[in-house]
Every structure is written in structure tokens, then in C-alpha cells.
């Protein structure tokens, strides 16, 4: 561990490598976390199957790539398919738990996560897969830093997708309806908004965003049926750290998590990468707890 | 009087069946053993989830903690733990009968007390969290524990530890662990039956119904919550220690901290049987275990999909569970008196 730290100090250029990798992967985390915050904020459902939606989107790209379609062209296909899938899941399951207590939504989506992970395991096998995009690798700083072009492209795609979603939420009628429902579902209903449709659309949109994030992850990293839970935890970490309805916060926390994972993976060893994610979740909750305790004392 | 005789007959029957089961069906001893552990899981989860309204997804943490504490005590009494785990079980070490049972007994005590200590420490972290944050926080603690133990070389890391080999006949060993699990499950049940008749149960029920009001009424909520969690941890720690010795090999992700299997089974069993009741978890555990064994045997490959679907259906359509449903159907059997004079229907009849 200390060797690796001193290595970082001696060769500062390695920091650039780690930082870039962290930002590129962090962008996809931010995307999935934004979807989770959306569903959480609008319909008060904590979707524990979030990561499995991401992985499913990745498998769409992998399967299409297997049939000769380039993953970047597979992206819109995955978005459309995942939108439909999200709508179906809403009609089947989520619509029945949307008004229920918090624990119901947690458990039901956990059950969904198990079904999806195992379903993917049966359908695609448990091998680690990746969608080969076939781009070159750029080298910088005299060969010390390598950046796969595909990572750069995925970063740009993530930014474009985020921009599209933001503009959609601000400008379109449906976006306005979603925000109105998030503020006060009852008032929105009185104003003639079909909140059930809004919920269905929100969940389908989340599923589509996850699908897009999954395609990007399948291009720049690996997917496997059981990686879903880690992605769910990542989204939870980001949303818990950033808070709801805080888009800049989600982006910063997403990129920050990407950085934290890369650095801990490098300095402590690859086996700590998973531990970092769950460890951060616990730390953030402890930090919330300390902040609230201080608040409570102030009230007394 | 008749009710008491019936009750005595039921308890006597279950005890006799429990004692005789491995002798009558020796081939199924392992399944029976797991059944008692499942009952213990469900009962301990219900202390918080059902009686106190705090839905934990990470109670399995104490199961794994107890398992590892017991293993370290058992090995550490006679050997150097770091040396033992570094060899990944390649070095065969023999335990005499006396050493084995001393280690096991001390290990069980250490597992129970260690788990209680951990419950008090982690109680400070998680009991400030409410609702979904509590569930997510406890889930995080359990997942983090599995990941961290997996990187801790002193405890064998991801490779796990082989526990001391039982110095005797394998059949004796199977019976020994069966009866240990049976005794601890029955002890848990008896203890909780007593506990739910005390003021303590009223206090944690008050926390479930309205925590702010309970606090305003002078109940020291944090203390009650921590004690309730410690009780769950005490029994879970013991069960983990016994289970670890029974399987003979422990490893962090699949055996000690199986959040996605045992960790979620305990919730599901309680929901199936009916939470907030004494018998609900027991019934749920038995039913669930039978379903699981049957599907695992006949639907290999699809069992997990089926399990996930069962969770979803159970949560959406049948959340009150079997006992909850029975209580709604026959409230008078459960000592709930429906006052006819105050119900709306009786007033309508009167006018």
C-alpha cells in the first residue's frame, strides 16, 4: 500500500491516468444515479433493481454487437427497448407499490433485482462480457498515460445524454408534468395531470437512462449478471451523498465516486474496489447521522 | 383449561418431534438442522422488523460475525491464528475431544458476547437512521463486513478458514449440531415468548407505532432499540458459530455474510408467516424451508427466479402474512375483542 502511494508521489503522471479513468467511469455512475434520484424524488421508490437495469442495458449492446451492430448504434436500440421494459415493469409491479410504505418498495424491488439477475444469468451465462467497440488507444505524456478512445467517446455520449434529459425535463410538457407531480402529486392530479401515466413514464425514462449507462459501461468496462447489486449501491451512495433534486451534486458525487474507486483500487489493491463502494455508503450514512445529531442538539 | 391442555400438547408434540426427527429420518438431518436455524433467523428478525418496526436488511452481519469470532477463539486457543489461516487449511491440525469441546463452548460464548458488543457499537451508527435509510444502512454494514473480511488476511481473506475437524464419528457430529441448533432455536422461542409478555415488548411496540410519541411518553427509545438489537445479535451470533462449525469451512461472501440469500430469507420468512407475532416467523420459516427444498430439488436453475417472484408477490399481495390474515379473520381467537357497540355497522342497525 505504501509502495503504491510513494509510486504516485514519484510519478505524478500516474495521477492523471487514475483521474481520467475515474472521471470516465464516474460519468456512467452519475447517469444511473440521476435515474435513481428521479424515481426516488417523483414516486418515492428506492429502486434496488437499478443496477440490474444497467446490466440489462449492457447485455442489449453485447447481444447486438454479437450480431454485428456497433455498440454506439446499439445505444439508441437499448434506450428504446429499456424504455419499453421499464414501462412493462411499472405496469406489472411498480404501479402496485407506488402508494405503499417504503419497506414495501425496497423489498419488492429487491425481489425484482433477484429475478432480473438470475434471469440474465440463465439467458446470457455467468461469463464476464464486454461489447467491443474497436477504437484505438491514445497515448499521452510520452506513453505514461493511455486513454482508450472509446472511453472518451463514452464520456461525451454520457454528457450529451444528460443534456438531453435535462432539456427534456425543463422544456417538454411531460417533463413539466413530472416535476409538478414530484412537487405535489395531489395538486398535480387536481390540475388534470394523469399522475399514473407520469409515474409510468418516469419509471420507463429511468429504465432507459439505466440502459444507456449500461451500454456505455459494456463498452468501456465489463458486465456480468451479478454486477447489478454493486451498481445499485453506487447509485445509492451518490444519491445519498448528493440529496434529491440536486443535479450538480449528483454529477460531482458520481465523478467523485469514480475517482475514489480508481484510487483505492490502485493504492490498496483491486480487491478493495468493491469494499470502497460499500464502505463509502456506510461512511456517508455515519456522516449524515453525526450532522443530524448536531442538528438535534441545536433544537434542544 | 382446555386451551392450556391444547397448548401443552402442541409444545410437547413439537419438542418430541424435534428431538426424534434426526433419529427417525437420519438422511435428512442436515435439512432439519437448517430448518431450526431458519426458525431462529425468522424469530430474531421479527424482534426488530415486526415488533419494533425497524426493517433491517443486514441482520446477517451478526451471523457472520459470530461465525468468525467463534472460529478465531477455537483455533486461537491452541494455535497461532495467522499461521493457521495463511496455510489455507494445508496444515492439518488435530484437536482432542477435550480441546474441541472447550474451544466450541468458549467460542459460542465469545460469539454471543462479541455480537452483542458489535450490536451496541453499530446501533450507535444505524439507529439515527429512519425508514429506508435504516434498511439501506444495515444492508451497507453487512455488505461492507463481507467485503472487508474478504481482504483481511489474518482471517484467511477471501479464501476462508477451515474449522477444527470433529474428533469423532461423523454421525455423532451431525446429531450434535442438530441438537445444538434445536436447543438454541427453542431457547430463542422461549425467551421471546417471555420477552413479549413484559413491559419491554410494550415499549418496542410503542416505538413501532409512533416513535416520537413514545419518546414523549418517557421511553428512552435509543436504549430500547439498542437492547432489542443486542438480543437479536446474541442469538444470531450463536447460530452463526454453530452453523460455521457444522459446515466445517467458512468464507466471507457465501457462507458468513450471505446478504442476498440468508439475509433476505429471514425477511421473507417473517413476511410469509406474519410479522409482529410470535408464531408467524416459525410458521413462515417452516413453510419457506419446505418450498425452498422442493424448488431447489425439482427446479434447478429456475429456483432463484421463482424465489424473487415469490418475494414480489408476497410483498405486494400478502404482506400481512399467514398469522396476520388469521388474526383479521378470527380476531376473537387472538384475544382481540371487537366492541360491537362502537362499530359503525351496529349503530346503523340501531337506527
User: How confident is the model at residue B87, as a pLDDT?
Assistant: 67
Nearest Cα to Cα of residue A99 among A228, A186, A35: A186
- Note whether A114 contacts B128, CB cutoff 8 Å: no
Instruction: Using alpha carbons, list the distances in angstroms from residue A278 to A261, A268, B144, B259, B327.
Output: 11, 15, 5, 13, 40
Binned at pLDDT 50, 70 and 90, residue B26 comes out as confident
Q: If residue A146 lies in a helix (H) or strand (E), which one and from where to where?
A: strand A145-148
Q: What is the pLDDT of residue B116?
A: 95
Mean pLDDT within B311-331: 83
Q: Is B304 helix (H, G, I), strand (E, B) or coil?
A: helix
Per-range mean pLDDT, top range of A148-152, B49-53, B319-323: B49-53
From chain B, the residues in CB contact with A278 under 8 A are 140, 143-144, 147
pLDDT at residue B325 in the model: 83
Looking at beta carbons, which residues of chain A come within 8 Å of B271? 107
The span from the CA of B165 to the CA of B173, in Å, is 10
Look at the block and give the residue holding cell 382481540.
B336
* pLDDT tier, B343 (very low <50, low <70, confident <90, very high otherwise): low
For residue B338, what pLDDT band results from cuts at 50, 70 and 90?
low
Is A104 in Cβ contact with B305 (below 8 Å)? no
Distance CA B113, CA B106 (A): 11
Mutate to test the interface with A, among B121, B139, B310 (most CBs of A within 10 A): B139
pTM, whole model, 2 decimals?
0.83
At residue B279, does pLDDT exceed 60?
yes
Q: CA-to-CA distance for B40 and B309, rounded, in angstroms?
A: 24
Closest approach of A189 to chain B, Cα-based (Å): 24
How confident is the model at residue A266, as a pLDDT? Answer: 80
Task: Give pLDDT tens digits for B114-167.
Answer: 999 999 988 887 887 777 778 888 888 888 888 888 888 788 777 778 888 888
> Which grid cell is B56?
433491517
Rounded to the nearest angstrom, the gap between the alpha carbon of residue B269 and the centroid of all alpha carbons in its chain is 10
SS3 B297: helix
Q: Average pLDDT, stretch B321-329?
A: 82
Q: What is the pLDDT of residue A300?
A: 45
C-alpha to C-alpha distance for A70 and A72, rounded to whole angstroms: 6
Parallel/antiparallel/unpaired status of strands B161-162 and A145-148: unpaired
Q: Between β-strands B249-250 and B161-162, what pairing exists: parallel, antiparallel or unpaired?
A: antiparallel
Higher per-residue confidence, B343 vs B67:
B67
Are the beta carbons of A58 and A223 closer than 8 angstroms?
A: yes
- Burial state string for B5-43 with b = 16 or more CB within 10 A and e = fewer than 16: eeeeeeeeeeeeebeebbeeeeeebeebbbbbbbbbbbb
pLDDT of res. B228: 93
Say yes or no: A11 contacts chain B, CB-CB below 8 A: no
pLDDT at B30: 85
The grid coordinates listed for B290 are 419446505
- What CA dihedral angle connects A52, A57, A61 and A64, to 10 degrees? 100
Identify the closest residue of chain A to B53 by CA–CA distance: A103
Q: Which residues does chain A have within 8 Å of residue B129's beta carbon, measured at their own beta carbons? A: 285, 288-289
φ, ψ of residue A222 to 5 degrees: the values are -125, 155
| Whole-number Cα distances in Å, B220 to B62, B210, B214, B226, B234 | 24, 13, 8, 10, 21
- Position A79 scores a pLDDT of 93
Do the chains contact at A102 and B267, CB–CB below 8 Å?
Answer: no
Segment B171-196, tens digit of pLDDT: 888 888 898 999 999 999 999 999 99
CB nearest A285 (choices: B137, B301, B309): B137
pLDDT, averaged across chain B:
84
Q: How far is B58 from chain A (nearest CA, A)?
A: 12
The residue ranges of chain A whose pLDDT is under 70 are 1-3, 140-144, 245, 293, 295-300
Residue A77, CB-side half-sphere exposure with 13 Å CA sphere: 14
CB contact under 8 A, A103 and B55: yes
Could you tell me if B140 and A289 are in contact, meaning their C-beta atoms sit under 8 angstroms apart?
no
Helix (H) or strand (E) holding B249: strand B249-250
The fraction of chain B above a pLDDT of 70, given in percent, is 93
Write out pLDDT tens, residues B197-238.
999 999 999 998 888 888 888 888 888 999 999 999 999 999
**Would you report the helix, strand and coil content of chain A in percent, each value rounded to 5?**
80, 5, 15
For residue B97, the distance in angstroms to the closest alpha carbon of chain A comes to 38
Amino acid at each position: 500500500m505504501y509502495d503504491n502511494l510513494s509510486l504516485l508521489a514519484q510519478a505524478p503522471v500516474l495521477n492523471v491516468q487514475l483521474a481520467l479513468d475515474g472521471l470516465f467511469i464516474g460519468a456512467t455512475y452519475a447517469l444511473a444515479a440521476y435515474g435513481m434520484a428521479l424515481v426516488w424524488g417523483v414516486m418515492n421508490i428506492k429502486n434496488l433493481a437499478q443496477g440490474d437495469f444497467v446490466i440489462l442495458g449492457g447485455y442489449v449492446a453485447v447481444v447486438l454487437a454479437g450480431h454485428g451492430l456497433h455498440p454506439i448504434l446499439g445505444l439508441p436500440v437499448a434506450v428504446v427497448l429499456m424504455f419499453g421494459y421499464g414501462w412493462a415493469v411499472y405496469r406489472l409491479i411498480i404501479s402496485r407499490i407506488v402508494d405503499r410504505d417504503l419497506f414495501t418498495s425496497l423489498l419488492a424491488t429487491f425481489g425484482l433485482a433477484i429475478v432480473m439477475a438470475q434471469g440474465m444469468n440463465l439467458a446470457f451465462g455467468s461469463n464476464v462480457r464486454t461489447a467491443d467497440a474497436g477504437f484505438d488507444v491514445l497515448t499521452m505524456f510520452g506513453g505514461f498515460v493511455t486513454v482508450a478512445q472509446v472511453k472518451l467517446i463514452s464520456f461525451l455520449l454520457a454528457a450529451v445524454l444528460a443534456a438531453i434529459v435535462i432539456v427534456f425535463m425543463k422544456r417538454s410538457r411531460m417533463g413539466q408534468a413530472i416535476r409538478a407531480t414530484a412537487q405535489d402529486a395531489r395538486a398535480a392530479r387536481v390540475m388534470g395531470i394523469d399522475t399514473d401515466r407520469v409515474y409510468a413514464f418516469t419509471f420507463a425514462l429511468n429504465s432507459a437512462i439505466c440502459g444507456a449507462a449500461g451500454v456505455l459501461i459494456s463498452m468501456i468496462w465489463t458486465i456480468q449478471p451479478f454486477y447489478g447489486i454493486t451498481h445499485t449501491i453506487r447509485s445509492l451512495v451518490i444519491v445519498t451523498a448528493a440529496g434529491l433534486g440536486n443535479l450538480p451534486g449528483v454529477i460531482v458525487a458520481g465523478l467523485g465516486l469514480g475517482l475514489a474507486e480508481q484510487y483505492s483500487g490502485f493504492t490498496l489493491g483491486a480487491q478493495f474496489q468493491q469494499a470502497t463502494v460499500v464502505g463509502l455508503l456506510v461512511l456517508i450514512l455515519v456522516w449524515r447521522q453525526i450532522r443530524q445529531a448536531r442538528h438535534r442538539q441545536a433544537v434542544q | 383449561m382446555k386451551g392450556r391442555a391444547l397448548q401443552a400438547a402442541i409444545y410437547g408434540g413439537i419438542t418430541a418431534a424435534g428431538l426424534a426427527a434426526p433419529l427417525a429420518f437420519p438422511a435428512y438431518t442436515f435439512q432439519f438442522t437448517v430448518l431450526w436455524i431458519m426458525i431462529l433467523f425468522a424469530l430474531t428478525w421479527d424482534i426488530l422488523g415486526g415488533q419494533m418496526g425497524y426493517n433491517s436488511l443486514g441482520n446477517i452481519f451478526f451471523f457472520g460475525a459470530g461465525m468468525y469470532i467463534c472460529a478465531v477463539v477455537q483455533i486461537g486457543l491452541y494455535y497461532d491464528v495467522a499461521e493457521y489461516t495463511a496455510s489455507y487449511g494445508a496444515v492439518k491440525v488435530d484437536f482432542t475431544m477435550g480441546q474441541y469441546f472447550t474451544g466450541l463452548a468458549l467460542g459460542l460464548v465469545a460469539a454471543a458476547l462479541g455480537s452483542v458488543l458489535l450490536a451496541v457499537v453499530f446501533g450507535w451508527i444505524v439507529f439515527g437512521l429512519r425508514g429506508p435509510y435504516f434498511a439501506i444502512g444495515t444492508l451497507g454494514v453487512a455488505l461492507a463486513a463481507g467485503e472487508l473480511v474478504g481482504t483481511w488476511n489474518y482471517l484467511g481473506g477471501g479464501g476462508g478458514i477451515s474449522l477444527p475437524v470433529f474428533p469423532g464419528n461423523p454421525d455423532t457430529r451431525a446429531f450434535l449440531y442438530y441438537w445444538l441448533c434445536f436447543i438454541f432455536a427453542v431457547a430463542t422461542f422461549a425467551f421471546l415468548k417471555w420477552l413479549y409478555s413484559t413491559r419491554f415488548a410494550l415499549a418496542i411496540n410503542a416505538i413501532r407505532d409512533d416513535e416520537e410519541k413514545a419518546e414523549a411518553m418517557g421511553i428512552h427509545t435509543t436504549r430500547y432499540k439498542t437492547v432489542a438489537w443486542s438480543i437479536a445479535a446474541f442469538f444470531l451470533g450463536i447460530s452463526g458459530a454453530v452453523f460455521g462449525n457444522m459446515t466445517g469451512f467458512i468464507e466471507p461472501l457465501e457462507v458468513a455474510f450471505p446478504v442476498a440469500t440468508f439475509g433476505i430469507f429471514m425477511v421473507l420468512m417473517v413476511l410469509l408467516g406474519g410479522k409482529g407475532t410470535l408464531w408467524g416467523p416459525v410458521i413462515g420459516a417452516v413453510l419457506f424451508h419446505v418450498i425452498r427444498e422442493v424448488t431447489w430439488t425439482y427446479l434447478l436453475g429456475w429456483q432463484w427466479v421463482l424465489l424473487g417472484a415469490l418475494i414480489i408477490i408476497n410483498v405486494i399481495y400478502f404482506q400481512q402474512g399467514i398469522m396476520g390474515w388469521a388474526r383479521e379473520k378470527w380476531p376473537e381467537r387472538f384475544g382481540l375483542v371487537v366492541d360491537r357497540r362502537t362499530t359503525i355497522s351496529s349503530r346503523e342497525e340501531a337506527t
